[in-house]
Structure 1
Amino acid sequence: MALKQVDVVISTLPVPQHLDQLKILKAIKEAKEAGNIKGKQRFVPSEYGNEVDRVSGLPPFEALLENKRKIRRATEAAGISYTYVSANAFAAYFIEYLLHPHDQSAPNEHQVKVYGSGHTKGKYFYSILFFFVLG
């Protein structure tokens, strides 16, 4: 990947390709070292979700967070200016995308993975909520 005359790289890669941002970082660093990019550069990795250094979760969400942490550490080590955008997210996205609760193609559709002891009392509500702050 060759970069020339680039000041800002804004990544919008989806979850499955998050680690490909390491290639983008490498290309930025190589271009800077080769003199193809002069001045300040800024990298905005594809995060747009939770503050990954402050949260933890159950698998597979924790695996996603760990990938994002790898990207953050590589970004910080690259010596390039960066901006992290942590807008948080609605749980519905993660439930649908990562956990696939309605996936009917599962090989063992009558089995469910239960985390912990399985005795925790709680309810699962699937809804989309919007919060407005007036002030």
Structure 2
Amino acid sequence: MHEMSLALAVVDQVEEAARERGAGSVASVRLSVGELAGVVPQALAFCFELACAGTLLEGAELTAETVPARAHCVPCDREWAVGMPPDLCCPGCGTPAQDLLSGRELRIAEVHWGDPADPADPPGTPGSAADSHHPVLEES
């Protein structure tokens, strides 16, 4: 299941960024997931919860927003929603899509940090994330 490797990669990247910023915990993570990325949202959520155990992200909420797949036809300069299953031929002229504009991405869109790290806490000790929302990590 590749969702576990994706979840582990997200946790690693967010945990590294949290440590760099002195965050004691992570309250939530929002991902942008393209509809053609081949990710099963329920499997990703399950794997994310497992991957967070024992890290600064333990208890963090995961939100995965689907990014619709869109393509562009160069000859007739038309853009269309590819859909699922994907229709990769231009609905106007039938030319195969040369540009897939969106739909394959998987990126960390936003992270809300929890409380600042307490120097007395051992590394990886989750802090209280209540009422602290600080979006600071955005990747494209």
TM-score by length of 2: 0.31
- Pick the structure with more strand per residue: 2
TM-score by length of 1: 0.32
Compare relative contact order (CA 8 Å, sep 6+) and give the higher one, 1 or 2: 2
- Pick the structure with more helix per residue: 1
